[in-house]
Chains A and B, each alone.
Chain A
Amino acid sequence: MKRSVVLGTLALAGLAGAAQAATLDDVKARDALNCGVNPGLTGFAAPNAEGVWEGFDVDVCRAVAAAVLGDATKVNYVPLSGETRFTALAAGEVDLLARNSTWTFSRDTDLNLDFAGVNYYDGQGFLVPSALGVTSATELDGATVCIQTGTTTELNLADFFRVNNISYTPVPIANDAEGRQQYLAGACDTYTTDASGLASVRTTFENPEEHVILPEIISKEPLGPAVRHGDNDWADIARWTLNALIVAEELGVTSANVAEMAAAPTENPEINRLLGTEGEMGAMIGLDNQWAVRAIEATGNYGEIFERHLGESTPIGLARGLNAQWTNGGLLYAPPFR
């Protein structure tokens, strides 16, 4: 009896594993990509007035949907809270998690995720009123700091102050909204969270110019899309779609010129391989040869996505910084398409 139960469980688990192993087939059969996104993070994911999801992370979902299904709108957006995002992915509720999640050791190994790469290099920063007269985080000795409890930012903060041998008083807050209010009310001298978050918080202030983000970035927060561990084919598709967007910027392929470049082979063999006019790169990841063309057409290359949602032309106004191409002193470095 007991053995049959165990065997049954194993068989079920095996079936479940088999069902999950072919995410690509599931997505194609469903004709829609289930994509886990943040329920609302300025610049990264939020629905517009028509209820259409937009944002930096959302464009990863759209690019993958365009590559796999040929239509960037065939995405079911599943908004996930910070607590439930990884379980939702593990349970198969979403195929892809593009929800500003930091790539860490334990998440990659213990939580059985596979990170497809990094689409945003973030890091923890400090926001201070310019009236405070502080120009460096090391001058924050004795400051009161608004800090979200239970996050990695809290631990990073403790580390930073200990290393620099200075003291601080934490003001615990629950979320970004509360942090913003507390900071504006003067409950703390400085507010600390991811630098991209600080920038978007700052844009909502009445007088943004009265506040500065200090130059120190005290932690590494590589944010990237994640998939379930164990389906390497699907992970490849996510990884190389992201890489295609990055390499497209490096090669000067944009949403405006991609159709023209893909019409006939160009001088540059790597562009030809990326756009499918040379070689059979698409077949190697189980897609057709036009997959990258569709992804780039749908969202533009990485630089275009960045400019549209986070860049200097948006109210958030983030500089490329670490997220520039390696040729421009940034960290974006897509492996060669060969």
Chain B
Amino acid sequence: MSDLHSQTVAYSRDTMLPPVPPPRREAGAVRWLRENLFSGPLNIILTILAIWVLWLALRDVLPWAWRGIWNAGSISECRTIRDQLYGEGTSAACWAVIRARWQQLVFGFYPASELWRPPLALVVFLLAVLPILFADLPRRLLWLTAAAPFLIVWLLWGGPIWGPVAVALGFGLGWLAWRIVARAGGPLLGAVAAILVPVLYWIFVDAPLTAALARILPIGLTPVRSSDFGGFTLSIVIGLSGITLSLPLGILLALARRSEMFIISKVAVIYIEVIRGVPLIVWLLVAQVLLNYFLPSGTNFDILLRVIIMVTLFSSAYIAEVIRGGLAALPRGQYEAADALGLGYWQAMQLIVLPQALKISIPGIVNSFIGLFKDTTLVSIISLFDPMRMSSTIRATTEWGGIYWELYIFVAAVFFVFCFAMSRYSMWLEQRLERSHR
């Protein structure tokens, strides 16, 4: 401290004031309320109105749900218990229906002794997509990803393990044929061999080989028929297969549509417009009814497989358009830069164009996926037992006739959990891939 200051400044504080809490009006919940809900006359009125509407909506629903009866064998039992507990005519939910029938809502008619299989298949699926969804994980996990489809199919449908193994062997043969022939006769011949060899193998060798192996080493699970799939198992099987299959197909279609090769681009345009121009329900009915007329009589083309194919084709048209939007949003300079580096078409797409285009398209892609997952309830039209169909079937029994809200609320809640998770992941991915502000 200099002497100068001691003359010019009359008073100088030499200690810090202790910190004082902000005034009550300016802190915590009160401040938040004041700023957000009661900041002016109009907002005060709107807030009060909103609270009133909320109260109107919830004053009956919440007690109804809270009073809910969990232990009863039928709706009339529910009503009797309710009358004893709360007096005649009180409104109370009958959650007992969920308790009694949750197994059917979740697994459909899947055999009771095999119920561990669908959840395990889901776990395998999640493990398999982890290395794709999270880039930090070791790349070696991709081997699991390659094996997962066969493992999942085997877990869900059962049967001898050799079926999926023999089919997987076909892919291995194709890869081998490509390696050998491409080295000897060029890539075109290699591609032909890579397609021809596995197809011939699947047609002629696969079935006898499976049978022979099954005879020698009978390892397997109890087979489960597709018609036993139901409830959320069905929705998830259709939804997840549709999602995983339609993304690569959609990318190819988007590239094809932007291709400069006339036939390829026109074929893609026609495909996308036709598929998009017709409602999904129509495609499902085609899958269920019309296909049977075209196929030879007695062909047992699994209905679930038909539906998965239709849903995949349908969804891939939408994904293609979403990705095309991403491709169109890329500045032309990016394409030109790829050309200037001397990259070929596939290299340019893989290294420069698609990573950026896909990043832009993430919200749209996830939006399509959520839509697809919810659209799986449309299969109730063709009498597959998705959760909605299952709930009306449960309603058709004499025990549970007349139960609506409880079942609908349960179905809605489960769907919400799945869709919300997907949406959260996409937001996380967007933030992670955000490059423009760094």
Which positions in A face B, CB cutoff 8 Å? 12, 15-16, 19-20, 26, 38-43, 45-51, 76-81, 83-84, 87-88, 91-93, 177, 180-181, 200-201, 203-206, 314-316
- Whether A204 contacts B383 by the Cβ 8 Å rule is no
A315 vs B397: C-alpha distance in the bound complex, in angstroms?
11
The reply to whether the CB of B285 lies closer than 8 angstroms to some CB of chain A is yes
**Range for the number of chain B residues in contact with chain A:** 35 or more
A79 vs B104: C-alpha distance in the bound complex, in angstroms?
15
Write out the residue numbers on chain B whose beta carbons fall within 8 Å of the beta carbon of A87.
289, 292
Residue B398 contacts which of A16, A42, A91 (CB distance < 8 angstroms)?
A42
Binds A, one of B10-18, B209-217, B385-393, B427-435: B385-393
Residue A41 contacts which of B79, B89, B396 (CB distance < 8 angstroms)?
B396
A322 vs B404: C-alpha distance in the bound complex, in angstroms?
33
Known: A39-B383, A84-B382, A181-B404. A91 touches B293 (CB 8 A): yes
- Whether A15 contacts B79 by the Cβ 8 Å rule is no
Known: A40-B392, A80-B383, A84-B382. A91 touches B292 (CB 8 A): yes
Write out the residue numbers on chain A whose beta carbons fall within 8 Å of the beta carbon of B298.
19, 26, 92
Residue A39 contacts which of B89, B292, B389 (CB distance < 8 angstroms)?
B389
Residue A177 contacts which of B285, B381, B395 (CB distance < 8 angstroms)?
B395
A226 vs B43: C-alpha distance in the bound complex, in angstroms?
66
Known: A47-B104, A49-B101, A177-B392. A314 touches B398 (CB 8 A): yes
* Residue interface mask B353-396, A partner, CB < 8 A = 1: 00000000000000000000000000001110100010011111
Closest residue on chain A to residue B401 by CB atoms: A204
The reply to whether the CB of B402 lies closer than 8 angstroms to some CB of chain A is yes
- Whether A12 contacts B292 by the Cβ 8 Å rule is no
Write out the residue numbers on chain A whose beta carbons fall within 8 Å of the beta carbon of B171.
none
- Whether B297 contacts A20 by the Cβ 8 Å rule is yes
- Whether B402 contacts A180 by the Cβ 8 Å rule is yes
- Whether B288 contacts A92 by the Cβ 8 Å rule is no
Interface centre among B112, B293, B398 (most CB of A within 10 A): B398
Closest residue on chain B to residue A81 by CB atoms: B383
The reply to whether the CB of B76 lies closer than 8 angstroms to some CB of chain A is yes
How close is B292's CB to chain A, nearest CB, in angstroms? 4
* Residue interface mask B104-130, A partner, CB < 8 A = 1: 100011001000000000000000000
The reply to whether the CB of B142 lies closer than 8 angstroms to some CB of chain A is no
- Whether A39 contacts B101 by the Cβ 8 Å rule is no
- Whether A42 contacts B401 by the Cβ 8 Å rule is yes
A26 vs B75: C-alpha distance in the bound complex, in angstroms?
42
- Whether A49 contacts B404 by the Cβ 8 Å rule is no
A51 vs B395: C-alpha distance in the bound complex, in angstroms?
14
A-B contacts, 6 of them at CB < 8 A, read A16-B296, A40-B392, A42-B398, A81-B381, A81-B382, A81-B383
Write out the residue numbers on chain A whose beta carbons fall within 8 Å of the beta carbon of B100.
49
A39 vs B380: C-alpha distance in the bound complex, in angstroms?
10
Write out the residue numbers on chain A whose beta carbons fall within 8 Å of the beta carbon of B401.
42, 200-201, 203-204
The reply to whether the CB of B227 lies closer than 8 angstroms to some CB of chain A is yes
- Whether A92 contacts B397 by the Cβ 8 Å rule is no
Write out the residue numbers on chain B whose beta carbons fall within 8 Å of the beta carbon of A51.
104, 108-109, 112
- Whether B396 contacts A42 by the Cβ 8 Å rule is yes
A200 vs B401: C-alpha distance in the bound complex, in angstroms?
8
* Residue interface mask B287-310, A partner, CB < 8 A = 1: 011001100111000000000000
Q: Please provide the chain B residues from 194 to 230 with a CB less than 8 Å away from any CB of chain A in the complex.
A: 225, 227
Residue B76 contacts which of A15, A39, A88, A315 (CB distance < 8 angstroms)?
A315
Write out the residue numbers on chain B whose beta carbons fall within 8 Å of the beta carbon of A26.
298
Write out the residue numbers on chain A whose beta carbons fall within 8 Å of the beta carbon of B296.
12, 15-16
Known: A80-B383, A315-B76. A42 touches B397 (CB 8 A): yes
Shortest 10 CB-CB contacts between residues of A and residues of B: A204-B402, A40-B396, A40-B393, A91-B292, A204-B401, A16-B297, A51-B109, A46-B396, A79-B383, A46-B397
With A47-B109, A51-B104 known, 10 other A-B pairs at CB within 8 A are A39-B392, A39-B393, A39-B396, A40-B392, A42-B397, A49-B101, A49-B104, A200-B401, A204-B75, A206-B89
- Whether A46 contacts B381 by the Cβ 8 Å rule is no
- Whether A47 contacts B398 by the Cβ 8 Å rule is no
Write out the residue numbers on chain A whose beta carbons fall within 8 Å of the beta carbon of B404.
177, 181
A200 vs B399: C-alpha distance in the bound complex, in angstroms?
11
A87 vs B227: C-alpha distance in the bound complex, in angstroms?
18
- Whether A46 contacts B402 by the Cβ 8 Å rule is no
